[in-house]
Structure 1
Amino acid sequence: MRIDLNSDLGEHFGRWELGDDRTLLSIVTSANVACGFHAGDPTVLRRTTEEAAERGVAVGAHVSYRDLAGFGRRFMDVPPAELTNEVVYQLGALAAFTRLAGDRVRYVKPHGALYNAIVHHQEQAEAVVTAVREFDPDLPVLGLPGSRFLEAAEKAGLRTHREAFADRAYTPEGTLVSRREPGAVLHDPEAIAERCLRIARGEPVTAVDGTEILVEADSLCVHGDSPGAVDIVRAVAARLRAEGIEILPFAEKYV
C-alpha cells in the first residue's frame, strides 16, 4: 500500500511569512507551491522550488484566483476565458523557477475558493482544465473525488488523481465543511493520523454529522498554514509508515 503526502507551501509574500516550509519539505512527498496569485512572490517561488528539488519533493502548481488580499479564499466570478489565461500565467511562472532549479512542474492543484468552486462550477472547472491541457497535456491534476473538475479533466484526456484532506472536516456528501463553520479545521495530530490511516486503507471516516463516508484518495493534504502543521504531518507520516504504508509522490509514475 502507498499514498502521497502533500502540503501547500511557498505561501510567504515579501516580509510576511506563513508556515514552516523547510521542515515540511523534509517530510512531505509533494509540494503544492503558490504561484503568485494568492501568495508567493518571485523570490519565494525560487527559494521554494530550489528547496523542493534538493529534497526530491514533487512540485505541483497551486493555482488560484487573483486574490492576494483574500488569500485566494473568496469566490470570484471570473469569465472562463480569463480564468484559463490566469491559470496558464501561473503555470508559466512556476515552470520557469522549477526549470532553474533543475526540475519541472509535476502536477496541478487548484487552491482555496477555486478548488471548492470547481467541485460544482462546470464552466470554471472546464476553464482550468483547458489551461492545463493547453500548457502541458501530460500534467496530471489533483482534486476532490467526484468533482466536476476531475470529471472534466478525465474527459479531456488528462491524468486525474483524488485528494483527501487530513486536517479538514467533511460533509456527508464528501465535500469540505466551509471554513466559516465551527469544526471545519481539525487540530489533534493523533486523531488526524488515525483518520489518514483509515483513508489510506480504503476504510470509511466520520463526517461532520456523524455519518460514515468513504473518501478515496491517492494523496493526503495537510495545510501548511494550519496551526501545528508540522506536528500533524509528522504524526501522519509516522503512523502510516508504522502500519507498513509507503509514502511516495503520486506524480512519480510520470517521471
Structure 2
Amino acid sequence: ICLSKESFLTMLEKEPGMQGQVNEKVRTDLTIEARMQAQPKGGELMSFLMGEGLGEGTDVLLIDETLCVGCDNCERACAESHDGNSRLNREAGASFASIHVPTACRHCEHPHCMKDCPPDAIHRATDGEVFIDQEACIGCGNCVRNCPYEVISLQKNPTEKPGLLDWLMTGRGPGPGGKQYRAGDDVKKAVKCDACKDQPAGPACVRACPTGAAMRLNPKDFVDLVGDRFET
C-alpha cells in the first residue's frame, strides 16, 4: 500500500497511537544510520545490500561465501518442493565482502510485480510472503518485466514425477532427484520464490544447506549481520 504525504498525515490524526510507533521507527532508523557511519567497512556492505534491493525486501535469501561449498543442495531442494521448478539461481547475482545475493525473490514491501497483473494472480500471504496463483496466472509476462531484480521467469509446468516403485518398475518419467522435463503444449506461467509459505519447517533452500551458508533475513537482520562482521 502506498500513501501520499497528505493521506498519511490524515491517518495519523485519526490514529494518535500510531504516531508513537512512527516516532519509534524513525529513532531506530537514525540509530542504525549512526551505527553504520561509525563502521566504514560495514557501511560499504550495507550500501551494497541496499543497492541489491534488500532495503525494500522483507525476506531475502543471502549466502555466506565463506561457508558455501557449491553443492547446489539449495537449488535442488527448491525444485523438489516446487514441482520441479527451482525458484532460485545460486550462482547468479552479485557478491560483496563474501556475502552473495542469489537470484531469488526479495518479497518486497511494495512489490513491483503486483502493479500490472491483469488477472490479479499475485498476492501477499498473512506472514508477508509474495506468491503467484498458478491457476490464475495467464503467462502475460508483465510481472517478469516489472521486477527490477529479475527473479521471476516464465516456465512450463513440469511432468508429474512417478512414485519410486512405479519408476523402478516402468522406468517412466524422471527418477528421484532427477530433473523433470516440460510438456510441450503447456502455457508458460510466471514462477518465483514463495518463501515456502506452505511448508511448516520453513524455506527448503535454507534447510538443505549442509554448512549453514544459506540464510533468509529481514531488514533488521541485515543490520545485525553487518554489525557481527565488522564490529570489534
Q: Structure 1 length as normaliser, TM-score?
A: 0.26
Greater Rg over alpha carbons, structure: 2
Q: Structure 2 length as normaliser, TM-score?
A: 0.28
